Amino acid sequence: MNPVNLLDFDLDGLAAYCEGLGEKRFRAVQLFRWIHQKGAADFTQMSDLAKSLRDKLAGAAVIRPLSMLSEQASADGTIKWLFDVGAGDAVETVFIPEDDRGTLCISSQAGCAVGCRFCSTGHQGFSRNLSTGEIVAQLWHAEHHLRQRLKLAAGERAIDNVVMMGMGEPLQNYAALVPALRTMLDDHGYGLSRRRVTVSTSGVVPMIERLRTDCPVALAVSLHAPNDPLRDQLVPLNKKYPLAELLASCARYLDAAPRDFITFEYCMLDGVNDTPEHARELLALVAGPRAAHPVPCKFNLIPFNPFPASGLKRSARERVTAFAKVLQDAGVVTTVRKTRGDDIDAACGQLAGEVQDRTRANERLTRPVIRIAEAPSTTSKRGSPS
């Protein structure tokens, strides 16, 4: 029988597993702390754990790290790891150091089935969901590796901000995601603040609803277009969950969210979604129908990171500035994301890993890219949410 990977468990799951071994919950807490707080992978190291439990675990359980294929360090301090997850699939994890915090960008799937046009992962297609253990192992590796590398003092942590913005749509891997989030938040695990764990979604509305109840953390939504006809083309999931539904779901999420705003991500694509008119349409969108149901939000404008198959170009700096000004003048906090790790292809939207595509995404994405001149009217066939 395959040994159980203890990284697959949040604390309640580990307590249930230990109970099955005839052990009390406090033993599970000790074990959990050894694994996540001290980075131990060897039961013999766990000196305060009862010898009887260590004997039971030996052979029956493991703490399974991901197998690292490569590590690249950018001149700006960004580090990208490529991990082998078997069967020809590999996923990427990125550490982004900033003055006031260390952010880890984690992958949730090998590839992604959503197929956003501007996203390198989307063009790779989809292979499979990662397990909870494979999601948590990215944080486990990064935190404990960086503590040594950065020579941090005992009690200092390397990562205090996690964004589920790597490869994959996390809300399409919900069952594995939630225990992973709980492990990140648990005081006996990584003890991260709910405000500093962000799930980024392209808009899986039913799962936004569930997350609100099960494990509310900060929410970022990949918007990228102010109307349905354009978003249908850039983010195909929009055909299933159009903007009006998505915005209503965001408004409801805020009832339980640890932050009082939603972050909207907006990738700036030259000649596609980057005019002042698009920005004004966005303002109307987040104001809600007849400005009755506004969604408190911030915009994060992302300079597109071009890759050959996309057929898209990055918006010029002046265009991004003009777009941001329309939003800012209306009182909406708007930032332009600094590109980090460009030199190692670790910037947003560049993560591609290696994926055995089982969805033929590339075939779907070879259709010509929409340009403004060809764009449909901004009045949606479903009725513009603005």
- Give the active site residues: 92, 348
Q: How far is CA 245 from CA 118, 169, 180, 204, 294, in A?
A: 23, 18, 27, 10, 13
Asked whether position 65 contacts ligand SF4 by CB under 6 A, the answer is no
Closest CA to 202 of 93, 121, 320: 121
Asked whether position 122 contacts ligand SF4 by CB under 6 A, the answer is yes
Print burial letters for 246-273: b (CB count within 10 Å at least 16), e (below 16). bbbbbbebbeebebebbbbbbbbbbbbb
297 annotated among ligand-binding-site residues = no
Find the binder of ligand SF4 among 74, 121, 127, 183 (CB under 6 A). Answer: 121
236 residue type, one letter: P
Q: Which is nearer to ligand SF4, 124 or 386 (CB)?
A: 124
Radius of gyration of the CA atoms of the chain, in A = 22
169 annotated among ligand-binding-site residues = yes
Q: Residue 178 corresponds to which tokens in the numbers above?
A: 């939630």
Q: How far apart are CA 8 and CA 11, in angstroms?
A: 10
Smallest separation (angstroms) from ligand SF4 to the CB of 355: 11
CB 353 within 8 A of CB 124: yes
Q: Residue 307 corresponds to which tokens in the numbers above?
A: 């890759």
Smallest separation (angstroms) from ligand SF4 to the CB of 242: 16
277 annotated among ligand-binding-site residues = no
Q: Residues 337-366: x/- map of binding to ligand SF4 (CB under 6 A)?
A: ------------------------------
Q: Residue 130 corresponds to which tokens in the numbers above?
A: 């990662």
Asked whether position 222 contacts ligand SF4 by CB under 6 A, the answer is yes
Q: Residues 94-113: x/- map of binding to ligand SF4 (CB under 6 A)?
A: ------------------x-
168 annotated among ligand-binding-site residues = yes
Closest CA to 60 of 140, 1, 15: 1
Q: Residues 171-210: x/- map of binding to ligand SF4 (CB under 6 A)?
A: -------------------------------x--------
Which residue numbers belong to the known binding site? Answer: 112, 116, 119, 168-169, 200, 222-224, 305
Contacting residues toward ligand SF4, per CB under 6 A: 112, 114-116, 119, 121-122, 167-169, 202, 222
